[in-house]
Amino acid sequence: MNIKNYINGQFENPSSNSWIDNYNPSNGEVYGQIPNSSKEDVEQAYKAAKSAFPSWSQTTLEERSRILIKISELLEANLDRFAEAESKDNGKPVSLAKMVDIPRAASNFRFFGNAITQFASESHESVGQNAVNYTLRQPIGVVGCISPWNLPLYLFTWKIAPAIAAGNCVVAKPSEVTPMTAYLLGEICNEAGLPKGVLNIVHGLGTTTGQAIVEHPNIKAISFTGGTATGAHIAKVAAPMFKKLSLELGGKNPNIIFADCDYDDMLNTTVRSSFANQGQICLCGSRIFVEKTIYEKFKVDFVEKVKNLKVGHPSEKDTNIGALVSKLHLEKVKSYIEIAKEEGATILCGGEEVTVDGFENGYYLQPTVIEVKTDDCRVNQEEIFGPVVTIMPFKTEDNVLEMANKVKYGLSATLWTNNLKRTMRMSNQLQAGIVWVNTWMMRDLRTPFGGVKESGVGREGGFEALRFFTEAKNVCIKY
């Protein structure tokens, strides 16, 4: 199936008539093509957004809210269609897409559709000066949104929804690896009555289409989720142009387990936090540190549960681990397993490709648990982004805190303990934008989301997102 760009409410072929193959990870076969868009396509999308902006920015909050909530309702009504498309494009189990990805995309539109009606700024009376100051929050104009392949519609809408809720118009690029649900979103937006040009979706490579969005002189803000190296490049291009930037980048997240935790809850959640979505979530706990007194028990129990995870075709209801997103990514993940062996680590389970009957060319890999000797080995320091975790013991709180923070990333951390004082101490000292205690991936859309160090710049979520997609203007009136 060939998909098209969505520009000014219409579906358009790329101006160059150049196309990119789109693969189904479950069988390794090409099942369609996407536009290989150029600067000309991005410029066409920008002009549509620019033309739509004056009217959209003056639309009432109630009308914007109504349209966003309608998009949410239509996504929910088309749950099965979108979940199956997401699975076919990405390789994740259909059950996961149906339970998490598509419902969350719908929630993004509903949340920001409601949030914009509650978003407020501040005023300050200048006592003794007969003056009052108040702050306007005004939309930026045309903004760029670039999203990754691991949670395609989920993260695409996480950017688009607050951007258009705040009154901006958008030029968006989904990952060229997983473009299908972004394409289908255009149909939903038309059905919901979103005015032409408010959202424009341009498909293509990051090095060409993405680059054209980032370097466009009149796209005034960029919201990007993806790899740290790409984020650094975007920052370098955008800085001299004084664009607003929100960068949600890589992670190498610690999962810290103390002996006083609720063991069964911890064990079940740790399996999920290690291997959900084939480990292709920036928030997965890929470094597991276990207090020495329970380490051997944990190792046995954890490996047994991991071995029982079923690797299979995404459409099968009992599949736990689907296909990795691409052949290239599969090879990258496998290379880190070889690096672990070279570093003297022990492969406790997994590490091998899996052949699924009838889908022998799919990109399947066993969930892999690696016991490492030191915390500074490459597999414990570099983002692998696959169904691979490392485990090692620790003795003291100070010891594990040092190891947890000794990476260049700082996106999330998970802490398992029933000691309140320890919880407060460590939550304060862990270098991460998000700390989960006795849980994982429990999200409240009102809370700020983002990382520190090389995990990113800025925050998404709640009013933080609406602040990013608006400019603050102070007005001072003397009376």
55-80 pLDDT tens trace: 999 999 999 999 999 999 999 999 99
Which helix or strand (DSSP H or E) is residue 348 part of? Answer: strand 346-349
| Tokens encoding 237 | 């291009």
| Tokens encoding 442 | 């429990």
Q: Do 323 and 314 form a contact (C-beta atoms < 8 A)?
A: yes
The Cα 129–Cα 150 span in angstroms is 55
Q: Which amino acid is at 347?
A: I
Whether the pTM exceeds 0.85: the reply is yes
| Tokens encoding 320 | 């736990």
Q: Do 306 and 367 form a contact (C-beta atoms < 8 A)?
A: yes
Kindly report, residue by residue over 125-181, the tens digit of the pLDDT: 999 999 999 999 999 999 999 999 999 999 999 999 999 999 999 999 999 999 999
Kindly report, residue by residue over 321-363, the tens digit of the pLDDT: 999 999 999 999 999 999 999 999 999 999 999 999 999 999 9
Q: Is 162 helix (H, G, I), strand (E, B) or coil?
A: helix
| Tokens encoding 69 | 């909530």
Domains of the chain: 5-249+455-478 (3.40.605.10), 254-445 (3.40.309.10)
Q: Do 386 and 25 form a contact (C-beta atoms < 8 A)?
A: no
Reported confidence tier of residue 477, pLDDT bands at 50, 70, 90: very high
Let me know how long the chain is: 479
Which helix or strand (DSSP H or E) is residue 436 part of? Answer: strand 434-437
The predicted structure's pLDDT at residue 399: 97
Reported confidence tier of residue 184, pLDDT bands at 50, 70, 90: very high
- The mean pLDDT of the chain is 97
As annotated, the active-site residues are: 248, 282
The predicted structure's pLDDT at residue 338: 98
Q: Do 117 and 62 form a contact (C-beta atoms < 8 A)?
A: yes
The predicted structure's pLDDT at residue 1: 81
Q: Which amino acid is at 366?
A: Q
Q: Do 142 and 46 form a contact (C-beta atoms < 8 A)?
A: yes
| Tokens encoding 142 | 């045309």
The Cα 224–Cα 235 span in angstroms is 10
Beta bridge partners of 19: 35
- Quote the DSSP letter at residue 206: I
- Of 413, 294, 271, which is closest to residue 349 (Cα–Cα)? 271
Q: Provide mean pLDDT across the span 38-47.
A: 98
Task: Please indicate whether residue 176 or residue 2 has the higher confidence score (pLDDT).
Answer: 176
The predicted structure's pLDDT at residue 211: 98
Reported confidence tier of residue 32, pLDDT bands at 50, 70, 90: very high
Would strands 409-410 and 346-349 be described as parallel, antiparallel, or unpaired? unpaired
Question: Considering just the CA atoms, what is the radius of gyration of the chain in Å?
Answer: 23
Q: Dihedral (C-alpha) 277, 278, 282, 286: value to the nearest 10 degrees? A: 130
| Tokens encoding 286 | 């890929």
Reported confidence tier of residue 316, pLDDT bands at 50, 70, 90: very high
| Tokens encoding 451 | 């990382």
